[in-house]
Amino acid sequence: MRYFRQHQLVLKFIYQHLSRSQFLILSGVLVGLTAGIAAVILKIVVHYIHILIDQQLEVFEYPFLNLFLPLIGILLTVWVVRTFLHGRDGKGVSKILLDISQRSGVAPRSKMYSQMIASGLTVGFGGSAGLEGPIAVTGAAIGSNFARTYRLSYRERILLLACGAAAGIAAVFDAPITGVMFAIEVILVGVVFSDFIPLIVAAVCGALISKIILDDDILINFTSLKEFNHKNVPYYLLLGVFCGLVSVYYAKCTNLVEHFFNHKLKWNAYAKAMLGGLIIAILCFAFPPLFGEGYSTVKALASSHPQEILKGSFFNIDAYADWPMIIFVGLIFMTKVFATSITLASGGSGGNFAPSLFNGAFLGFFFGSIVNKIGLVQLPVSNFTLVGMCGILSGVMYAPLTGIFLIAEATGGYELMIPLMLVSCTSYAIAKVFEPYSMDLKHLAAEKKIFTEDYDQNILSLIKFHEIVDRDFETIYDDSTLPELVNVLRQSNRNIVVCVNRDGKYVGFIVFDKVRKVLLDAELQRKLNVKELVLTTKYHVHAGDSIDEIINKFDEADLWNLPAFENGTFIGFISKTKLLTAYRDKLKLTIY
């Protein structure tokens, strides 16, 4: 603790003596290294758990021993989340996007470790999910809390949050460009900024940590590539179409499973975990590659050793790329989505990044093998396996650039750049036809809780109801005389007065500009009372209203001020002036 305080003092001293740009670059280095170390730790822990499991399988009969390991992992995850994390596991990249739009980029400190623990248990014990999403969440939380510690501004906090996510992804794949692309496409969607250097530095630091510490067998890398042949372009385009359709299938199935577990199934958390774990056990018994992340089987397919995916399977398939093998591969990529969605919906923790790559590899192998088997042309199946990974990732995550550069960096070159672009863009376009937003963001985007490509809407979402309520107002009783109203207006510097009854309940309001002539007429002052001058409107603003709803009410009411209520109680007014001022302030805040 003492060392940590000394560290803080040193950084604060440096902060005071460096320019903003210099300190942000230094911050990018520190956040990148920290997020990279967190990613490396999680990958190593899960990797060695799997090694331990494999060693046990050599002693005991497979698949009966490890069938129920995912069940144990999901139960442990539920217990840890409920007992130690108070139900707040921060699962999913969408939670980080909520932090950006709803909490000004402030991520809870628990997210710096909660996802590492929860996903480590789930995936380590064979849950059919990925670690990349949790790593991105962990890195983002590290960046956000670094900015909070040194009281950096909103813009700097968002930037360092993105730096942490970029470093985490860069570390897990040893792919710095992929990390930067992921941060821009997924984390910073709808956010305008210009400080690319700290983001790049953070990603490089994360990848460097990965390069130094992780072994090649932990990282994803591929070497057995065939030269790109332009004559195969139609087949790559066709693969892109299939990737887009399978991505839509992935999203639809995931939503159905989540709806069933979250809304239809009225069981407690442990009962859901038991059910989910038992289903995963059955799926892993039928299709062993569904166990865990599945990167080892992806490498086997990409390196033209598909027979390795049969390890532990009760299917007796000997012929390479023969129909039984092709059907087996096809069943796996159709079933993977259920294994992943059930793992997560039943209480497990993880992400859809690795499952997307898994599905893409199996789809690419399936497609290339079928074309070759039919005899239309001889396609390089390993190339189609890799390009398929990019296609499904683009269609599921809505991150085509991330998919393109991930495979390009994983293969150590840009030999496949043209087919990667073709398949990625085609898959992304097909998926967008069916859904404007990715499956993780669909509901949040519909509720306007997260940033989208609509920048004006993003600015409006930053404005909070209580920031624009004007609570400074004078009141008068509805049975008061006009001279009493004149006295109230004389003492007030406001143009509006609230009218209430003797019980203190809101009746309406009086706008001075609209009653000026009446108040200046002595004869009318004797004839009229306050109640006859009160304005009422059916358009009331409530604390639960979105900014869009408030703007629509202003348009329909054609008034400059609208009464605001909270829990049925009048609390003040919202004016167009206050709303426009808030918009201008948020706009200044977000422009780099």
Structural class in CATH, domain 2-213: mainly alpha
pLDDT of 192 higher than 70: no
Q: What is the mean pLDDT of residues 566-577?
A: 85
Q: Which of 133-142, 227-236, 289-298, 451-460 has the lowest mean pLDDT?
A: 451-460
Give the pLDDT score at 510: 79
Least confident of 103-117, 212-226, 253-267: 212-226
- In this prediction, residue 362 carries a pLDDT of 95
Would you say residue 2 has pLDDT above 70? no
Question: 510-568, pLDDT tens digit by residue?
Answer: 777 666 666 666 666 666 677 777 778 888 888 888 888 888 888 888 788 888 888 88
pLDDT value at residue 498: 83
Length of the chain: 592
Using CA atoms, how far apart are residues 560 and 562, in angstroms rounded to an integer? 7
Ordered strands of the 474-477 beta sheet: 474-477, 496-500, 506-511
Nearest C-alpha neighbor of 72 from the set 277, 268, 351: 277
Which letter does DSSP use for residue 496 in this model? E
Angle, nearest 10°, between helix axes 196-213 and 20-59? 30
Q: Which of 19-23, 121-125, 190-194, 524-528 has the highest mean pLDDT?
A: 121-125
Q: Give residue 60's pLDDT.
A: 47
Mean pLDDT, residues 322-333 taken together: 88
Cα distances (Å, whole numbers) of residue 50 to 54, 70, 126, 284: 6, 12, 8, 15
State the alpha helices, DSSP H only, in 214-352. Answer: 233-259, 269-286, 295-302, 323-345
Stated pTM of the model: 0.83
Q: Between 356 and 511, where is the model more confident?
A: 356
The number of beta carbons lying within 10 Å of the beta carbon of residue 235 is 18
CA dist 44 → 51, 116, 124, 291, 579 (Å): 10, 12, 10, 17, 51
Please indicate whether residue 273 or residue 196 has the higher confidence score (pLDDT): 273
Crossing angle of helices 132-149 and 154-173, in 10° steps, is 150
pLDDT at residue 495 tops 60? yes
Greater confidence, 123 or 16?
A: 123
462, pLDDT greater than 60 = yes
Number of H helices, E strands in the chain: 25, 6
Higher-confidence residue of 63 and 273: namely 273
pLDDT score, position 300: 86
What pLDDT digit, counting tens, does each position of 193-249 carry? 667 899 999 999 999 999 898 877 777 877 767 788 889 999 999 999 999 999 999
* CA gap 67, 472 in Å, rounded: 65
Of the pLDDT bands very low, low, confident and very high (cuts 50, 70, 90), residue 51 is confident
Comparing CA positions, the residue from 89, 25, 97 lying closest to residue 452 is 97
How is the chain split into domains, by residue range? 2-213, 230-450, 463-590
Asked if the model's pLDDT at residue 14 lies above 80, the reply is no
> If one looks up domain 463-590 in CATH, what number appears?
3.10.580.10
For 230-450, the fitting CATH number among 3.30.2140.20, 3.30.160.100, 1.10.3080.10, 3.40.50.300 is 1.10.3080.10
pLDDT of residue 108 exceeding 60, the answer is: yes
Res 311: pLDDT: 73
pLDDT above 80 (res 139): yes
SS3 561: strand
Hey, is 499 helix, strand or coil?
strand
Amino acid at 194: S
pLDDT of residue 59: 45
Q: What would the two tokens of residue 233 be? A: 């372009």
Reported confidence tier of residue 573, pLDDT bands at 50, 70, 90: confident
Find, among 334, 341, 335, the residue nearest to 254 by Cα.
341
Considering the chain, what percentage of its residues have pLDDT values greater than 70?
A: 88
- Could you tell me which residues are beta bridge partners of residue 498? 475, 509
- Tell me what pLDDT residue 5 has: 59
Residue 346: pLDDT band (50, 70, 90) is very high
Comparing 544 with 7, the larger pLDDT belongs to: 544
Answer whether residue 324 shows pLDDT above 60: yes
Q: Which two tokens stand for residue 65?
A: 């021993």
pLDDT at 203: 95
What is the pLDDT at residue 279? 94
In tens, the pLDDT along 140-151 reads 999 999 998 888
Same fold, 230-450 and 463-590: no
Q: What average pLDDT is seen over the chain? A: 84
Residues 6+ apart with CB under 8 A from 388: 239, 243, 360, 361, 362, 363, 364, 365, 367, 423
Structural tokens at position 277: 């774990």
Amino acid 445: pLDDT:
74
